[in-house]
Amino acid sequence: MCFGQSSLEGLEMMMNWKESRILVTGATGIVGSSLVEKLLHEGAFVVTLIRDWNPHSELIRSGDVQGTTVVSGELENFHTLERAISENDVDTVFHLGAQPLVGVALRSPLPTFEANIRGTYNVLEACRIHEKLVKRIVIASSDKAYGDVDILPYTEDMAPLGRFPYDVSKSCTDLLARSYSQTYDLPVTIARCGNIYGEGDLNWSRIVPGTIRSFFNNEKPIIRSDGKFTRDYIFVQDVVEAYLLLASHSQDKHIRGEAFNFSGEQAWTVLEIVGNIQKLMKCEHIEPTILNQASAEIRDQYLDSSKAKRLLKWAPLFSLEKGLVHTIEWYKDFMTRTSLEKH
């Protein structure tokens, strides 16, 4: 992967991760897999919390998992998290683990709340208990934490007002992180990202991987909504750089305890995203199927990232087109290989 450095201009350089001992929850997910790859490349000692062993996860498929200390367990189990931090002398925690799908949250709110809310306060409490060890904590929240508002784009001074199950779980994640920061002075920072896309996302119900797979198979992609819902999109490698930047400066008085939006700052409709993929894959002859059945979803969401630009000197290095080109090539290779393996 080609991680850039230009986003650090104006700040002291990102810390040297070679001496760090890092816990990554959600390590098998799209961001977790890329983050672990980056940290291993930098020479860090990485501990990964893994609930389910998915051989198709990029973390496992790439072999990166072999370079980590694996802790098997769930976010809902406090003692598993406490043991992971204590026994491995963890000094940095990237909490990315969650039930990440809006549709699953709608069908099964209780396990979503358990993973996303209980999981977050378990992580934070384990860090509080071992505050002499843990010096940096990055909590992955979401633009969903803001809920449905009348004025866009979202800015960090807006209150977290989630209404639907997934959104509420992310609002609570935010509030818990701020509570532990302000009450116990934990070195917490919060990242709120738009729709993350890129290599390694195997949640096919999401619009980018689902559309690419459909076109790859010469099938019509499925759009659950009317196609006019708007979102902003951010490439996974830009997210990894943002998380590392937050962790590097979590002791800074202007960064510690703060939430930051990370986004490409351009709203796209679902139909526009499908159209971009359609053009890049030369599949203009295949039209999507529009179900217009989306429920319990916010219609329009996009973020203002000026705070991250001002205080962190962060900016995305990938345009939507550049990110989609990387993503499409990864999925073509992945699906070709998995198809050959079946035979």
- Residues labelled as active-site residues: 166
Using DSSP, state whether 56 is helix, strand or coil.
coil
Beta carbons of 124 and 137 less than 8 angstroms apart: yes
Helix 320-342 to helix 270-280 angle, to the nearest 10 degrees?
70
Q: Retrieve residue 92's tokens.
A: 């940095």
Report d(CA 306, CA 192) in Å as an integer. 13
Helix 236-248 to helix 30-41 angle, to the nearest 10 degrees?
60
Other Cβ atoms within 10 Å of 150 Cβ, number: 4
Other Cβ atoms within 10 Å of 99 Cβ, number: 20
Cα–chain-centroid distance for residue 75? 16
Q: What is the distance in angstroms between the CA of the first residue and the CA of the last residue of the chain? A: 29
Task: Name the region of 265 (left: φ>0; alpha: ψ -120 to 50; beta: rest).
Answer: left
Report d(CA 341, CA 56) in Å as an integer. 12
Residue appearing with tokens 């329009």: 300
- Can you list the alpha helix ranges (DSSP code H) found in 56-108? 58-61, 78-87, 102-107
Contacts of 175 (CB under 8 A, 6+ apart): 160
Q: Is the alpha carbon torsion for 298, 99, 308, 185 positive or negative? A: positive
Beta carbons of 189 and 257 less than 8 angstroms apart: yes
